[in-house]
Structure 1
Amino acid sequence: MRVLLLFTLLLLCHAKPYKPIKIMELMKVHDIMQRDDRDDDDEDDNDDDDDYDDLEDNYISDCPFGCTCSKRVVQCSDLGLTAVPREIPADTLMIDLQNNDITEIKEDDFKGLNTLYAMFLVNNRISKIHPKAFQNMDKLQLLYLSYNLLTQVPENLPKNVLELRIHDNKISRIQKEAFKGMHSLQVLEMTANPIANSGIELGAFDDMSTLFLRVAEAKLTAIPKDLPSSLTELHLDYNKIGKVEVEDFIRYKNLQRLGLGFNQIKFVENGTLASIPKIREIHLDNNKLKKVPPGFNTLKYLRVVYLHANSITQVGVNDFCPTRTKLKKALYTGISLFANPVKYWEIQPPTFRCVSGHRAVQLGNFRRK
């Protein structure tokens, strides 16, 4: 349930363009999560205590000047703040500090906020975070630091964070200790940072159980080899990747969705896709491929393939479908081939024999700019 909800959150705060986070919508998700937590603890709590907690959820004793406080949520966005406000109630669950002019997070800015569940520091001017700024935040699960001026991943991040969004900063290097001990981290968004392959230190992602990772709009020239092996979604769009080789996916056998659109890929080595047998969706659009990559016809669960805006000149009868129909466990629901110089009228009808319907295939005339 929690994993599903985390991916729902991704729709609320996409990388670009910047959009303010809708705190009330997140609160609805939070209430569901809290209910799940209380269900787990029912055996330890009596009914009287539960009733008392419910009353307390709607009460907050004090509120920083200029902020709005309700249901243990402190909203201090769009106030022109240059520092974190003082006297934040100790029982706060969510704090919203987005859209301000905060430049630094000091050691004691969040001192005593040990019940904090979510923190939003998006769209400030933060360039420095004290190594002890997040100490004792054992219950923090959502941490949004996007659209700031950070040059490195903050030190000593809370170990129980489930989702970390740190895109649109100035991070060029991911140090070895950056995510140490963050075994619970499931969603990591690092898009629009100037990260190159040489900037990822060996072991930076060791022992992580991350499911979703996006490092788009960076300076990657190849698929990183040392990302978490637990990944089910990997998005590396808008980089400078030139080719895909067999060794690239050996570590990521659980991948279900792969984004490699808007790169410079000319070549996908034969046998590469065999390492990701669970893949459902592959984006290779807006690259420089001259032919359909080999191996699609061996992927039993592949349903969506984006190949538009490449330089593909022909499509073979077995490029997408296996020779034996029973080998395909899921029919294609989307294959895009438009904006390629392929003569679609020359494609043989059996080529799409494992597609759910004719509307699932998108072809079109190739127009040179």
Structure 2
Amino acid sequence: MSRYGKHTIPIYEFGRCRNLENGLRRLSDPKNMLLRGVAILHLTLTIKAATSSCPHLCSCSQDTVICTGQGLLRIPSRIPPDTVRLDLQENKISEIRKNDLKALRRLKILQLMDNQIHMIESGAFDNLIALERLRLNRNRLRTLPDKIFINNVNLHRLLVISRVMKPFYVFVE
């Protein structure tokens, strides 16, 4: 409880409001300075927590991470594990290692076109069990590891276009 003049106002009152309008009305009341401060601090910490897990040079919103055209040489570390859409197009990524995407079990859309990818390590996509769409076009791939997509049972849109690519058997056991 906080004391303002003759009034005693519980700190938790803002959270008990039935709608946003009532909550904002309580915050705008001069008697609720402490409540306003607590609400601002809570909002600031929430925003900081939400943005602190976003990789450097990327922008994040909800379940989407966009790192387009940043000159990245590798897939960033610390991509939030709840990411559903990851856009890494137009960078300078040359390799995809087995552990680069390991934690992204909810990932559905992966955009890797217009990079310099020449090697994808076997098992690089094994943990991407939710993956539905993958774009690898306009890279330097000559081949893909056998059975590279064997665990990606939800993959229904794959774009791999290369003039120098050899035939591959990525879905066959």
TM-score by length of 1: 0.31
In 1, distance between residues paired with 2:170 and 2:106?
A: 24
Q: Distance in 2 between matches of 1:81 and 1:89?
A: 17
> Is the counterpart of residue 168 in structure 1 residue 162 in structure 2?
yes
- Please list the CA deviations of residues 324-369 of structure 1 after superposition, one character each: whole Å capped at 9, or x if unmatched: xxxxxxxxxxxxxxxxxxxxxxxxxxxxxxxxxxxxxxxxxxxxxx
- Whether 2:171 is the aligned partner of 1:179: answer yes
Aligned residues: 121
Partner of 1:74: 65
1:116 aligns with 2:107: yes
CA–CA distance in structure 2, aligned partners of residues 130 and 78 of structure 1: 23
Q: Is the 8 A contact 1:90 1:114 kept in 2?
A: yes
Contact 2:141 2:162 in 1 (8 A): no
Amino acid at match of 1:113: L
1:86-109 deviations in Å (ceiling 9; x for gaps) = 000000000000000011001110
Amino acid at match of 2:158: L
Runs of 4+ in 1 over 2 A off after TM superposition: none
Which of 144, 148, 164 lines up with 1:153 in the alignment?
A: 144
Q: Residues of 2 paired with 1:178 and 1:122: CA distance? A: 19
Match of 2:43 in 1: none
| Alignment deviations for residues 52-102 of structure 1 (CA, whole Å, 9 cap, x no partner) | xxxxxxx67610011000021000010001111100000000000000001
Secondary structure of the corresponding residue to residue 74 of structure 1: strand
TM-score normalised by structure 2 residue count: 0.65
Q: Distance in 2 between matches of 1:169 and 1:76?
A: 26
- What corresponds to 1:65 in structure 2? 56
Q: What CA deviation, in whole Å up to 9, does each residue of 1:146-189 have, x standing for no partner?
A: 00011113442123201000013521x323x32226xxxxxxxx
Q: Matched residue of 2:60: which SS?
A: strand
CA contact (8 A) 2:120 2:144 kept: no
For the residues of structure 2 that align with 1:63 and 1:132, how far apart are their CA atoms?
25
User: Partners of 1:118 and 1:61 in 2: how far apart?
Assistant: 22
Please say if 1:95 is aligned against 2:90. no
**Equivalent position amino acid for 2:171 in 1:** F
1:147 & 1:137 partners in 2: Cα distance? 22
SS at 2:134's partner residue?
A: strand
Is the Cα–Cα contact under 8 Å of residues 51 and 60 in structure 2 kept in the other structure?
A: yes
Structure-2 change in CA distance of 1:60 and 1:90 (3 Å): farther
Q: How does 1:149-298 map to 2 (within 5 A)?
A: 149-155=140-146, 156-157=148-149, 158-171=152-165, 173-175=166-168, 177-180=169-172
Larger RCO: 1 or 2 (CA < 8 Å, sep 6+): 2
How many angstroms apart in 2 are the aligned matches of 1:163 and 1:144?
A: 8
Tell me the equivalent position of 2:133.
142
Alpha-carbon contact 1:126-1:150 (below 8 Å) kept: yes
Residues of 2 paired with 1:169 and 1:117: CA distance?
27
